[in-house]
Amino acid sequence: MNVEIKDRLRFLRKERRETQEQTAGAICITVRQYQRFEAGEQKPGFDNLCALADHFGVTLDYLAGRTDER
Question: Is 50 contained in some domain?
Answer: yes
- 45 or 2, which is more confident: 45
> Using CB atoms within 10 A of its CB, is residue 44 exposed (0-12), middle (13-18) or buried (19+)?
buried
- Compute the distance between CA of residue 35 and CA of residue 41 in angstroms, rounded to an integer: 8
| 69 located within any domain | no
pLDDT in tens, 28-66: 999 999 999 999 999 999 999 999 999 999 999 999 999
Asked whether residue 70 is domain-assigned, the answer is no
Measured between alpha carbons, how far is 62 from 58 in angstroms, rounded to an integer?
6
- Domain count along the chain: 1
Domain residue limits at 37: 5-63
User: Which pLDDT belongs to residue 1?
Assistant: 60
Report the CATH number at residue 30: 1.10.260.40
pTM, entire model: 0.93
